[in-house]
Amino acid sequence: MATTTTTKPTSNKDETLNGVVERITYHAPDSGFTVAKMQVKGFRDLVAIIGNFPNIQAGMTLSVQGYWYDHPKHGQQFQVKNYTESKPATLTGIEKYLGSGLIRGVGPVTAKRIVAYFQLDTLEIIENQIERLVEVPGIGKKRVKMIQDTWAEQKAIKDVMIFLQGHGVSTTYAVKIFKQYGNNAIAIVSENPFQLAIDVHGIGFATANQIAIQLGISPWSKYRYKSGVLHILSQAAEDGHCFLPLPELVNEAVELLSFDDFDADKEAVRQIVTDMVESEELKVEVAEGEMWLCYKPTFYYTEANLAKLLLKHLEKPVTVDLKRVANWIERYTKSKKIKLSPQQTEAVIKAVSSRVMVLTGGPGCGKTFTQETLTSLWQAMGKKIGLAAPTGRAAQRLGEMTGLEAKTLHRLLEFDPKKMGFKRDKDNPLPFDAVIVDEASMVDLFLAHSLIKAVAPDCQLLLVGDCDQLESVGPGKVLTDLLESGKIPVVKLTQVFRQAASSAIIRNAHQINQGQYPKLEPISHKPKSDCLLHPGGSKPEDSVEAIALLLTDFIPKQGFDPRNDVQVLCPMTKGLVGTRNLNQVLQQLLNPSHPDKPEVTAMGKTIRVSDRIIQLRNDYNRDIYNGDLGVVKGINHIEKSLTIQVNDRDVEYDFADLNEVALAWSISIHKSQGSEYPVVIMPISMSHYVMLSRNLVYTGLTRAKKLTIIVGDSKAIGIAVKQGHRRQRYTRLVERLSEKTQISF
C-alpha cells in the first residue's frame, strides 16, 4: 500500500514537483511574484509554492523546480526557481484551466458545460475543431468566435511571453507588446528594447533599460543614450515644460544613464544631443548667452505655430458700433434688473470689439455674468456662438449658465480617432462667428494650438480663466503667457460682489492670493462658516484618521452624502496622506468588499462596482480624457471587462486597460481643475512640503461649492500661502508673441 506524505522535507537541494494549481493566494501583475497552492501527487495537503509567474491561473498543470524552506510564519513552502507548463490531463484540471480566466468568453460555468460535453477530448476539440463548441448547450456562434480569437491570441503570444518573462516584463505588458509588434516583437525587442518606451503605453525607460541590461546591450549604446534624452524631455513635459536648457538636460541624462559602477559621460550625452539635432530628432533654439534650449520637434513647431497663428489672427480688426453696444448693455441690464460693474462693462465692450481677448479674475468677481451678458449681446448681433471648456463638467456648467449648448474642446473640435487628430482645422474651421472657452487655465500647448487652428479668420475668441489657479496638467502655461505677452487684450475682474463675499471660501481664496493667511474656523458640531480647519495631528497617520472620521461622522451630520458629495483633494500622490494610500483607505471605508459586489484585481489595483474612477490619459477612441471622473457600473468576468459611467454615458474597458484609470475617492488638486464639488476635504501637511504653493491651495479651496475642510497644521498652510510658484515652467510663447526669439536650427 502506498504511503501519503503529510509533511514536506526541508532542504536546499533542488527538486521537481508536478501538479495542478488549485488556487492563487497572491499575484502581483507587475513583478509576477506569486503565492499559490498546488495539488501534488503523493501529498495529502496542498503545497504552497512561491515564485515569479508572469501568467498563472488555477487549473494549470505545472512542473516546478526549486527547493523547500521553512517560513517563520507560514511554515514549509516550495521556492520555485524555474517551471514549465503542460496542459491538464484530468477532467477537473481541464475544467479549472478553461474557467480560470485565461480565455475570454469562458468562465467557470461555461467551462463546466464544455468539459461535461467533450470530456477528455476538450482541449483537442478546442485546438482543432473549435467550431464544435456550438454543440454545447448555451454556447452560440458569437461566443465561439470570441473563444477562438482568444485561444489563437494566447498561442501566438506564448513565445513572446516566455521571452519577456526572462527579462522581467509582466504578462499584461507582454500582451501589449505583442499587439504593438505582432510576430516581430521578439526581433524588435532584441535589437532595440528602448523602442518599447516610445511605442507601448505603460512601459517607460526604466523597464526598457532593465530588458536591455539582461539582453547584454552595451550601456554605451546610442539607442540607450537617445532613449534617455527623450525620456528626460518626456518627464519634463509631464512637469509642464516645453523644453529644457542643455545643461539641465545633460545633467539629468547623466544621472539617469549611470548605474552601479558605470558612469555616463557628459560629453557623450552632448554629442548624442548634437547628433539628434542633426537628424532632426530634436530641435534646438539659441537663447540669450548662446544657451541651447532643447525641444522635442512636436513641442517646438507647435509652440512656434501657435504664436504665429495668434499674431495673424490679431491682425484682422473687428468693426463694431460701440455706441450701439453701450445702449444695448443699458437696456439689457435694466430688463434683467441688474447692474454691471465698470470692470464688467469694460470686459463686454472690449470682448465684442476684439478678435481675441482674455477675461480673468478670481471667484465671486462676476466672470459668469459677464460671459452671460456677452453671449446675449452676440446673439442680439446675429452671431452664431460656440461654447466649450476643457472638461465635461466645466462645459456642462457653461451650458447651464448661458442656456446654449456647450461642449468639451475635444468634441467641439471633433476629434477623429482614425486619423488621431481633429476634423476642425484651418481647412475646415469651426462654423461660428464667436467662440467662448471657459476654464482656459487648463488648456495646454497642444490643445490651444488645435483650437487656434480651427478658429476662422472672421471669428472672435474669448478665453475665460482664473490666472491664479494651477497651470494645465499638460505642457505649457498658455493663459499665463498670453497675459504676460502684452499682445492680447485682457480684462481682469477684481471686485468681489457682496453676495459672493458672504462666503468664507471666496474671502479666503482672495486672502491666499494676496499672500495672507486664511481665516479658518476650527471645526465644531455646529459650524458657522463654510471654510473649516481640522488640526489633523502631529503624524501623517493622524491626518488619515481625521479624514476617515470626518467622512463617517461629521459630514453626514451636516446633511451631506460622504459617497457622492465629498471629494478629497491632495497635493501629492505619494505618502500616507497622498492619493494612492488615501484611495485604499477610503475605498474600504466608503465602498468595502462584499460577496454581492463584483470586483476585479488587475494591474496592481482592486476595483469594485460603485467605485469612483478617474481617467489617467487621453483615450481618443473612447472619447475620454485625462481627468474625467466616472463610476463603475458593472464588472463582467466572462467578458473580462468593466463598465464605467463617464459624463452620463457608459464606457467599456478591458481588464488589460485598467492601467488607464485609478480610484478617485481621493485625487490630486491638479486633476481637480475644472470641477466643482459640494464638499472638499483637503489635507495640507509638512509631508507635502515639496508641493506646497499658494496657487495649489487656492485651486483646491475654490473647487468647493458649499464647504471646504482643510486638514492640516498652521505651519504647512502658512508655508503654502507665502510660497509662490515652486518652479516656473520652461516655455517661449511670450518671446514668440513678442518676436524676441532667435533663429533655431
For 323-337, letters b (16+ CB in 10 Å) and e give: eebeebbeebbeeee
The CATH fold assigned to 594-664 is SH3 type barrels. (2.30.30)
- Mean pLDDT of all residues in 185-193: 84
- Mean pLDDT of all residues in 680-690: 88
Look at residue 621 and tell me whether its pLDDT is greater than 70.
yes
570 labeled part of a ligand binding site: no
For 184-217, letters b (16+ CB in 10 Å) and e give: ebbebbeebbbbbbeebebbebebbbebbbeeeb
- Mean pLDDT of all residues in 223-242: 92
User: Which range among 102-106, 117-121, 241-245, 493-497 shows the weakest confidence by mean pLDDT?
Assistant: 102-106
Please tell me what DSSP assigns to residue 464.
Answer: E
Q: How confident is the model at residue 5 (pLDDT cuts 50, 70, 90)?
A: very low
How is residue 37 written as a grid cell? 497552492
Same fold for the pair 222-295 and 516-591+666-723: no
CATH of region 308-499, choose from 3.30.1360.120, 2.40.40.20, 3.40.50.300, 1.10.260.40:
3.40.50.300
Look at residue 197 and tell me whether its pLDDT is greater than 80.
yes
375 labeled part of a ligand binding site: no
- Mean pLDDT of all residues in 51-79: 78
Residues 6+ apart with CB under 8 A from 73: none
The pLDDT value recorded for residue 2 is: 38
Residues 6+ apart with CB under 8 A from 154: 102, 103
Please tell me what DSSP assigns to residue 650.
Answer: E
Cβ atoms of 384 and 367 within 8 Å: the answer is: no
Q: How many whole angstroms separate alpha carbon 25 and alpha carbon 8?
A: 19
Arithmetic mean of pLDDT over the chain? 86
Read off φ and ψ for residue 65, nearest 5 degrees. -110, 135
The CATH fold assigned to 15-86 is OB fold (Dihydrolipoamide Acetyltransferase, E2P) (2.40.50)
Angle between the 504-513 and 694-701 helix axes, to the nearest 10 degrees? 170
Architecture of domain 516-591+666-723: 3-Layer(aba) Sandwich (3.40)
Q: How confident is the model at residue 62 (pLDDT cuts 50, 70, 90)?
A: confident
Q: How confident is the model at residue 296 (pLDDT cuts 50, 70, 90)?
A: very high
The CATH fold assigned to 222-295 is Arc Repressor Mutant, subunit A (1.10.10)
368 labeled part of a ligand binding site: yes
Q: How confident is the model at residue 67 (pLDDT cuts 50, 70, 90)?
A: confident
634 labeled part of a ligand binding site: no
- Mean pLDDT of all residues in 492-505: 84
| In the chain, where the domains are located | 15-86, 90-215, 222-295, 308-499, 516-591+666-723, 594-664
Look at residue 88 and tell me whether its pLDDT is greater than 70.
no
- Mean pLDDT of all residues in 371-398: 92
The pLDDT value recorded for residue 633 is: 95
Q: How many whole angstroms separate alpha carbon 506 and alpha carbon 365?
A: 10
Report the Cα–Cα distance between both ends of the chain, in Å, rounded: 85
- The beta-strand segments (E) located in 495-542 are 521-522, 531-534
CA torsion, points 209, 215, 219, 225, in degrees to nearest 10? -50
User: Which range among 89-103, 127-141, 541-555, 611-625 shows the weakest confidence by mean pLDDT?
Assistant: 89-103
Angle between the 222-238 and 205-215 helix axes, to the nearest 10 degrees? 160
The pLDDT value recorded for residue 726 is: 53
Residues 6+ apart with CB under 8 A from 664: 583, 612, 613, 614, 629
Q: How many whole angstroms separate alpha carbon 219 and alpha carbon 231?
A: 16
Q: Which of 190-204, 343-357, 598-612, 683-697 has the highest mean pLDDT?
A: 343-357
- Mean pLDDT of all residues in 392-414: 89
- Mean pLDDT of all residues in 440-468: 95
Q: 82 or 46, which is more confident?
A: 46
61 labeled part of a ligand binding site: no
Residues 6+ apart with CB under 8 A from 492: 343, 360, 361, 467
How is residue 212 written as a grid cell? 536591455
Look at the alpha carbons of 654, 660, 662, 667 in this order and tell me if their dihedral is positive or negative.
negative
